[in-house]
Amino acid sequence: MPVITVTQINRYIGSILKNDRNIQGIMVRGEISNYVKHFRSGHVYFTLKDSESAIKAVMFANSAARLKFAPEDGMAVIVSGSIGVYERDGAYQLYVNDIIPEGAGAQGAALEQLKRKLQKEGIFDTAHKRPIPAMPKKIGAVTSLSGAAVRDIINVLSRRYPLGEVYAVNALVQGEGAPESVCRGILRAEAAGCDVIIVGRGGGSSEDLSAFNTEKVAYAIYNCKVPVISAVGHETDFTIADLAADLRAPTPSAAAELAAPDISMLYEKIGILERRYEKAALAVLDRSTDRFVALNARLAAQSPENRLKLTGEKLSALNKRRDAAFLRYMDRLERQLGEKAARLDSLSPLKVLSRGYSLVYKEDSLLSSSESLKKGDKVKITFGSGGAEAEITDKW
Amino acid sequence: MTRLGQIVSELEKGDIPLEKAVELYGEGVKLSAECRKQLDSAQIKITEDDGKAPSEE
């Protein structure tokens, strides 16, 4: 035979208990004793007993924090939870997630059961919750038309949201036939074209609220095609209608405030839109002006006037080039002339005379031969510098 | 109000011709004035329904 450990046996027993549906998710009636709340962890420990037997119970801090009353020794209660094993001590105990005072009667337990059933059926699913329209046209109010709730709703809406229409459907909110009346009211408001419906009543005792704790009303709210705001004036406890509704309001006035925006906000919104389109239109205008200026500049560049100016500029540049070219040409001519003059100068007869040659004139004509000369002729002689008169004494 | 929002976003796109912008701006001015008038003159309407089933009437 195999040997197993204590831990193994406790863990095994624990798994058996966990898989036994008869002791999981159960409700147990009994009386609280040895109630202790651990001051640091917030966990709650007690013994649940009846006349013959007792069971240890533990409620962890997160569940204990949700309790709407303070349990105490001797209190008759209905506890919901599951049986499990506390491995360290090898003890089985009741793990509690909710405690309902038995004072609330069997009715309380039944309500708890109904809540759990509807929860399982998905009636409270957050995924099913629809948003409230931003600007509803027709707001349904399903409540007693002789009660304070409808006056509160109308007062709030006429002050805050006079744009809308209130479609108020009379419904019995307590007593016999109340659930059916509320369901019919929801259908009537839906059929009238409401785009959001407030269902509720002013405060009342928990018996007065029983219509809002019925399966019928829960389904009517769940199946309604438009969003439903619950307004069951009861701050502390959530009714089933509250859980099924798309939005829960603590009072009918609060429901009216949640159903529609305040008109001052609408004025503000228009103001914001006005500023935005002013700004956007100005921006478009600015951009158009810039584009116009740019195009205008390009157009001006192509104007005949401007082209004439450009041609003029080109012409004067050409003129300048021509003048400069002419001056350069003249310079060159001058230089060439200078050189030629220098060469010419070297060929001048005066230069020849300075080298020792002389010129002989007879009666002012230059002689290049002695042929016309006779003895006794007078001649003039020009030297490189100075001159003389001479008489021919002989010739050859 | 919805149309006013559309006009604003169209204008804010910016890449629209000036004539279109002027036209939208004009429409915006008209619409916001209309919205304000509607708010100013709004009067809540209340309809009562006795909630009785047809057989009860």
Probe site for chain B from A267, A284, A289 (most B CB atoms < 10 A) = A284
Determine the pLDDT at residue A344.
74
Residues of A in contact with B25 (CB under 8 A): 277-278, 281
> Alpha-carbon torsion A70, A72, A78, A79, what sign?
positive
Is B43 a residue whose pLDDT tops 90?
A: no
d(CA B47, CA A166): 6
Is B57 a residue whose pLDDT tops 70?
A: no
**Contact call for residues A181 and A171 (beta carbons, < 8 A):** yes
Is A237 a residue whose pLDDT tops 70?
A: no
**Contact call for residues B23 and A120 (beta carbons, < 8 A):** no
Tell me which residue range forms the domain holding B23: 2-56
Interface check A49 vs B, CB under 8 A = no
Instruction: Name the closest residue on chain A to residue B34, using Cα atoms.
Output: A270
Does the distance separating the beta carbons of A288 and B44 come in below 8 Å? Answer: no
- Provide the 3-class DSSP secondary structure of residue A77: strand
Probe site for chain A from B7, B8, B43, B52 (most A CB atoms < 10 A) = B8
Give the mean model confidence (pLDDT) for residues A73-83. Answer: 90
Interface check A213 vs B, CB under 8 A = no
**Contact call for residues A229 and A175 (beta carbons, < 8 A):** no
This complex has an ipTM of 0.79
Say which of A135, A188, A284 has its CB closest to residue B51.
A188
d(CA A345, CA A332): 20
For residue B8, give how far its alpha carbon lies from the nearest alpha carbon of chain A (Å).
5
For residue B51, give how far its alpha carbon lies from the nearest alpha carbon of chain A (Å).
5
Interface check A169 vs B, CB under 8 A = yes
Determine the pLDDT at residue A218.
94
pTM of the complete model: 0.54
- Share above pLDDT 90 across residues of chain A, in percent, rounded to a whole number: 44
Q: Which positions 1-57 of B are in contact with A (Cβ < 8 Å)?
A: 1, 4-5, 7-8, 11-12, 14, 16, 18, 21-22, 24-25, 28, 32, 35-36, 38-39, 42-53
Q: Per-residue pLDDT tens for A337-390? A: 888 887 777 767 677 777 778 888 888 888 888 888 888 888 888 887 888 888
DSSP annotation of A68:
S
**Contact call for residues A221 and A186 (beta carbons, < 8 A):** yes
Instruction: Name the closest residue on chain B to residue A289, using Cα atoms.
Output: B18
Does the distance separating the beta carbons of A281 and B25 come in below 8 Å? Answer: yes
Q: Per-residue pLDDT tens for A311-330? A: 888 889 999 998 998 999 98
Determine the pLDDT at residue B54.
62
A74: left (phi over 0), alpha (psi -120 to 50) or beta: left
For residue B46, give how far its alpha carbon lies from the nearest alpha carbon of chain A (Å).
5
**What angle in degrees, to the nearest 10, is found between the helix axes of A148-160 and A252-259?**
30
d(CA A350, CA A49): 165
Domain count, chain B: 1
Contacts of A102 (CB under 8 A, 6+ apart): A29, A75, A76, A77, A78, A108
Instruction: Name the closest residue on chain A to residue B15, using Cα atoms.
Output: A284
